[in-house]
Chain A
Amino acid sequence: MCGGMELKNEVLASATCALCGACLDWCPYIANIEDHLVLRFDCNVSNGRCYSVCPRTFTDWEAISEKYLPDIPRDFAIGPHLKAYKVKAAKGINGQQDGGTVSYLVKTILEDELAETVLLTGTDDQVTPEPFLSSEIDDIQKSAGSRFLASPGMRKIIEAQNNKVQKMAVVGRPCQIQALRKLDYNRPPQKPEVEVLSIGLFCMWSLGWDFKDYLQKQFPEEEVLRLAIPQHGFEVTTDKGVHELPIDTVKKFSRAGCNYCLDMTSELADISVGAFEPQEGWNTVIIRTPKGQQIFNDALTKGYLISEEYPEEELKRLKGASLGKKTRNLNHVQTAFDKGVKPFIDLNSAYYIQLKELAEGMVK
């Protein structure tokens, strides 16, 4: 039984918050501007939804995987999945990141009425993330491309709930997909079930909003048209041209809360999408559930997407990258737990023990 004060003391005070936004807009105590998320007044609720949905409060990964991804073959590095594909959109979409796959998956979902509304993130300025719910295919364009700034998009769940949405789709970062699963997993029995289709994004880290100030200072009087991370670094396309920033410079702006994330590929999603590193203009798609397989197949059938077999050596590299994030961040997690942050992972779980051994092995 934990509420807002525990969320404040365990998550917000320790800066482990992932800014998924799942705790926002349910209650008048939690407030947010940009990437600040705080308890604005002391709350007296002892059993809060905010605490139960947070990806940085205790999360029973094994039980949640078992419930939402049952009988799916497990992989230690990239989570339960059926199959991986190399994918791109048949026809490019303006402003797309990599292959444009997500945009066409969303288009398929709306066309086939697999969801009444989709939670997307985007704005006109290509830097500022702004979550929105949409049922309009025309809106997809607004969300094309990556923003990189952390956005508390899960706050929109309450809006969907108030609109009595029964079937929805969510495009989100790994932390947001975790929150989405926890939301249902910890749902009080009297609350109605919402059918959710989740498209998880690959994520190494997301950036703090001071990166926006940095861009403004770095490129004054230029309008940023696109942010991207191709192989060679961080690319900022403005109305005056293309600038490149060293990736290490950009990484300095990554949010502290991202250091505690052990999930690169959105392991609890129905379908996960990320870059296909070896070749620009292509995506990696990981199908995790039959539901995920279905929309993927539909999009192929419609001719929106082109897919190829996923190269074996690339799958190895992808798993290596994912394990790299896991082992790197495990050190942060371990340090935080040692410093007294309340563990949000079951320290006795087989998963945690295996990961610990793996991390130690890599150090050796």
Chain B
Amino acid sequence: MEWMITTNEPGKTYLMQGNEAISRGALEAGIRFAAAYPGSPSSEILTMLGHVADEMEIYAEWSTNETCALEACLGASFAGIRSLCVMKQNGLLVVGDALHSASLSGVKGGLVLVVADDPSAHSSTNEFDSRHQSRSAAVPMLEPANMQEAKDMVKWGFELSEQLQQLVMVRTVTRINHGRSSVTLGEIPQQKQVPAVIGEWDRLVAINWFKDAQISKLEQAQVIFKESPFNWYNGPENPDMMIVTCGTGWLYSIEAVKALGVKDSVGILKIGTTWPLPEEFIVKHLGRTKKVLVVEEVDPFLEQNIANIIAYHPELNIELTGRHGQKVIPRNGELNPNVVRNALANMTGTTFTGPEVTFIPPEEAVALPPRELTFCAGCPHRASFFLLKQTLRIQEGQGVVMGDIGCYTMGGQRAGHYLFNFLSCMGAGISAAEGLGQLTRFGFDQPVIALAGDSTFFHSCMPALINAKYHNSNMLFVILDNSATAMTGFQPHPGIGLTAMGKTTEPISIAKVVEAIGCPVTVADPFDITGTTEIVYKLLKQPGLKVLILKQECATLAIRKREKAKVWVDQDLCRGDECGCGRFCSRIWGCPGNIWDYEVGKAKIDEVVCVGCGVCVSLCPAGAIKIEGGEAV
């Protein structure tokens, strides 16, 4: 049944995506403030809150970066307003200082920080385990095991946050954020919070005087967690073996116990409050058994903290197994029911005899061709990488290209002719390029190019650009401005002129920012391959810091706004494999819109995916690709 996130029907149950459940939990907690930076798998949360912001009388913003988001929430919390902050695991590392400081100062209004981890890095450049940060920053953390818990933990997190005067983290993983299950609604309060007056002697300061308070808040949380309904044991009184699990590991564990038919000998201890661990509660249950398997996503965080507890409790005599040492569960990669079942089978000496669940009968299964990550049809990044690659080849100076994080990260692969020499975190490209560019004084004469997208520019490149300018580093900074945070789903950023709540606002011009920093800036169109190649070539010949903005709107966005031009191949002109071009359009240029017509042995346009950008028209040596109609790009 269809439902609205704002539906006020307590007790009703709906099928919900995890991110919807999280948003709903925040609304049920009566939040009035939400801030986030987009990052899969967390991005939908703020998008949804932004859409209902007017209706629910809340404020929602896509902050310029995660630090801005967390500190904005801290500001709102200072006035007693319940605030939700959302980010992905990499974002949590960006806010490291802010998080540790906020934890020292504490909060006033409830502040819940939802952080979405991406085991196996399905939509990330890397996987990290956010839970270490919670421990390091002394911040209590909850880990939902299903969508219902995701909603309930977020809602309860605000109460806990206010009770402790401390921020609370909720750690999810991709399968929670993007999975769906039934969730029973609670009530959305009608009463709206109003900001409290911040008095002359009110303080929210992060200085070490508050370290004892910080520790005591954590101890208080431990006491509260002892009785938490998010922690329970299910299984025999004295099992041969116990699975201790949290998050998605819980459902996998239930499935494994059932599949192997070992419920009479294996119990499951499910923990929802993974930091600080409810020590007494855990010791009580561990006392029932001699053998423990810990099942959890990413790092052996729970496992090693349980090892700590065991170390402090000599009365426990436990053989502890998990991801540590990789005896039964691999150290790297996302869990799934089979991994957990195999681990349990291994530990219990049982064998799975039931039928494997297959969704397609083997006789009907067709092997999928291997597909590489690539840019969309008409993507301006394809043109940018193409012309940058060829300029570096023409320039013959062995340019070093420092990449960054966004759609264009795919340019490090075939789609971008393997252009990157360097890729780290957001904003690292220009910062590292600044360092390389300083080596000119020691004889380093290779051209240095740093790339960053428009959203990344605002997110984390500005201090680095100032650094590069102030120290006059020898480098070219290329901003790939596609006017979108395209990778995570077109969330607006400060250059767009739109807020998360759909309000228009004055866009910030990247060119003006760059000029104000004192860098001469060139703006060029990546679709003009020849002209822009010459511009890049000339810029590379100049000493010092150069900034180039390659501006062309994301094709997926642009095609929604303009009439599509018709691009087609005049197969009478296309010379097919007789042409010396060696299928240049489909093989080298590689746009998904350029395909090969195997029936006639000539090039062809896939009209379904082609967006009519027309760049390939200028690349065909036979002039066989034609463009007609549509609005000029």
Query: Does B226 sit within 8 A of A, measured CB to CB?
Result: no
Q: Is the CB of B533 within 8 A of A33?
A: yes
In Å, the complex CA distance between A44 and B534 comes to 26
* Residues in A whose Cβ lies below 8 Å from that of B629: none
Closest-CB distance, B573 to chain A (whole angstroms): 11
Query: Does B196 sit within 8 A of A, measured CB to CB?
Result: no
> Given the interface contacts A33-B533, A41-B417, does A28 sit within 8 Å of B584 by beta carbon?
yes
> Given the interface contacts A33-B534, A33-B537, A45-B582, does A39 sit within 8 Å of B393 by beta carbon?
yes
Q: Is the CB of B580 within 8 A of A40?
A: no
**From B536, which residue of chain A is reached at the shortest CB distance?**
A33
Q: Which of A37-65 contact B (CB under 8 A)?
A: 38-41, 43-45, 48-50
In Å, the complex CA distance between A40 and B391 comes to 8
Q: Which of B387-431 contact A (CB under 8 A)?
A: 389-391, 393-396, 417
Please, what's the 1-or-0 string for B1-29, where 1 marks a CB less than 8 Å from any CB in chain A?
00000000000000000000000000000
Q: Is the CB of A36 within 8 A of B396?
A: yes
Q: Is the CB of B619 within 8 A of A36?
A: no
**From A158, which residue of chain B is reached at the shortest CB distance?**
B621
Q: Is the CB of A28 within 8 A of B619?
A: yes
* Residues in A whose Cβ lies below 8 Å from that of B619: 28
Closest-CB distance, B509 to chain A (whole angstroms): 30
Q: Is the CB of A45 within 8 A of B393?
A: no
Q: Is the CB of A40 within 8 A of B393?
A: yes
Q: Is the CB of B621 within 8 A of A36?
A: no
- For chain A, the count of residues having a C-beta within 8 Å of the partner chain is 20
Q: Is the CB of A31 within 8 A of B621?
A: no
In Å, the complex CA distance between A229 and B389 comes to 39
Query: Does A32 sit within 8 A of B, measured CB to CB?
Result: yes
Q: Is the CB of B389 within 8 A of A28?
A: no
* Residues in B whose Cβ lies below 8 Å from that of A32: 394
Q: Is the CB of A36 within 8 A of B394?
A: yes
Query: Does A27 sit within 8 A of B, measured CB to CB?
Result: yes
Query: Does B588 sit within 8 A of A, measured CB to CB?
Result: yes
In Å, the complex CA distance between A31 and B621 comes to 12
In Å, the complex CA distance between A336 and B597 comes to 45
* Residues in B whose Cβ lies below 8 Å from that of A33: 391, 394-395, 533-534, 537
Q: Which of B524-548 contact A (CB under 8 A)?
A: 533-534, 537, 541
Query: Does B439 sit within 8 A of A, measured CB to CB?
Result: no
- For chain B, the count of residues having a C-beta within 8 Å of the partner chain is 21
Query: Does B121 sit within 8 A of A, measured CB to CB?
Result: no
Q: Is the CB of A26 within 8 A of B580?
A: yes
Q: Is the CB of A48 within 8 A of B394?
A: no
Query: Does B581 sit within 8 A of A, measured CB to CB?
Result: yes
Closest-CB distance, A359 to chain B (whole angstroms): 32
> Given the interface contacts A33-B533, A40-B389, does A27 sit within 8 Å of B396 by beta carbon?
no
In Å, the complex CA distance between A44 and B582 comes to 6
Closest-CB distance, A51 to chain B (whole angstroms): 11
In Å, the complex CA distance between A39 and B389 comes to 11
Q: Which of B395, B417, B541, B580 has a CB less than 8 Å from the CB of A48? A: B580
* Residues in B whose Cβ lies below 8 Å from that of A39: 393
**From B579, which residue of chain A is reached at the shortest CB distance?**
A27
* Residues in B whose Cβ lies below 8 Å from that of A27: 580-581, 584, 621
* Residues in B whose Cβ lies below 8 Å from that of A31: 390, 393-394, 533
* Residues in B whose Cβ lies below 8 Å from that of A38: 393-394, 396
* Residues in A whose Cβ lies below 8 Å from that of B533: 31, 33
Q: Which of B554-595 contact A (CB under 8 A)?
A: 580-582, 584, 587-588
In Å, the complex CA distance between A33 and B389 comes to 14
**From A32, which residue of chain B is reached at the shortest CB distance?**
B394
Closest-CB distance, B576 to chain A (whole angstroms): 13
Q: Is the CB of A28 within 8 A of B621?
A: yes
Number of A-B contacts (CB under 8 A): 53
Q: Is the interface of A mostly helix, strand, loop or mixed?
A: loop
In Å, the complex CA distance between A266 and B620 comes to 34
Please, what's the 1-or-0 string for A118-129, where 1 marks a CB less than 8 Å from any CB in chain B?
000000000000
Closest-CB distance, A186 to chain B (whole angstroms): 14
* Residues in A whose Cβ lies below 8 Å from that of B537: 33-34
Q: Is the CB of A26 within 8 A of B621?
A: yes
Closest-CB distance, B403 to chain A (whole angstroms): 19
In Å, the complex CA distance between A106 and B541 comes to 37
**From A26, which residue of chain B is reached at the shortest CB distance?**
B580
* Residues in B whose Cβ lies below 8 Å from that of A34: 537
Q: Is the CB of A40 within 8 A of B394?
A: yes
* Residues in B whose Cβ lies below 8 Å from that of A29: 581-582, 584, 588
**From B589, which residue of chain A is reached at the shortest CB distance?**
A28
> Which of A31, A33, A38, A48 has the most C-beta atoms of chain B within 10 angstroms of its own C-beta?
A33
Q: Is the CB of B581 within 8 A of A41?
A: no
Closest-CB distance, B153 to chain A (whole angstroms): 52
In Å, the complex CA distance between A110 and B534 comes to 34
* Residues in A whose Cβ lies below 8 Å from that of B395: 33, 36
Q: Which of B286-301 contact A (CB under 8 A)?
A: none
Q: Is the CB of B393 within 8 A of A28?
A: no
In Å, the complex CA distance between A28 and B623 comes to 11
* Residues in A whose Cβ lies below 8 Å from that of B534: 33
* Residues in A whose Cβ lies below 8 Å from that of B396: 36, 38
Closest-CB distance, B445 to chain A (whole angstroms): 14
* Residues in A whose Cβ lies below 8 Å from that of B582: 29, 43-45
Closest-CB distance, B594 to chain A (whole angstroms): 13
Closest-CB distance, A215 to chain B (whole angstroms): 15
> Which of A26, A27, A41 has the most C-beta atoms of chain B within 10 angstroms of its own C-beta?
A41
In Å, the complex CA distance between A44 and B620 comes to 16
* Residues in A whose Cβ lies below 8 Å from that of B588: 28-29, 41
In Å, the complex CA distance between A43 and B620 comes to 15
**From B618, which residue of chain A is reached at the shortest CB distance?**
A28
In Å, the complex CA distance between A38 and B25 comes to 60
**From A36, which residue of chain B is reached at the shortest CB distance?**
B394
Q: Which of A109-156 contact B (CB under 8 A)?
A: none
* Residues in B whose Cβ lies below 8 Å from that of A45: 580, 582
Q: Which of A11-30 contact B (CB under 8 A)?
A: 26-29
* Residues in A whose Cβ lies below 8 Å from that of B620: 28
**From B587, which residue of chain A is reached at the shortest CB distance?**
A44
In Å, the complex CA distance between A303 and B395 comes to 48
In Å, the complex CA distance between A40 and B541 comes to 19
In Å, the complex CA distance between A35 and B149 comes to 66
> Which of A29, A32, A39, A50 has the most C-beta atoms of chain B within 10 angstroms of its own C-beta?
A29
In Å, the complex CA distance between A45 and B579 comes to 9
Closest-CB distance, A131 to chain B (whole angstroms): 16
* Residues in A whose Cβ lies below 8 Å from that of B394: 31-33, 36, 38, 40
In Å, the complex CA distance between A153 and B6 comes to 70
Closest-CB distance, A39 to chain B (whole angstroms): 7
Q: Is the CB of B581 within 8 A of A40?
A: no
In Å, the complex CA distance between A296 and B311 comes to 104
What are some 19 contacts across the A-B interface (CB < 8 A)? A26-B621, A27-B581, A27-B584, A28-B581, A28-B619, A29-B581, A29-B582, A31-B394, A33-B391, A33-B394, A36-B395, A38-B393, A38-B394, A41-B389, A41-B393, A41-B417, A45-B580, A48-B580, A213-B541
Closest 6 CB pairs of A and B: A40-B390, A27-B580, A44-B582, A40-B393, A38-B393, A36-B394
**Given known contacts A27-B581, A33-B533, A213-B541, what 9 new A-B pairs fall within 8 Å (CB)?**
A26-B580, A26-B621, A27-B621, A28-B621, A29-B584, A29-B588, A32-B394, A33-B395, A39-B393
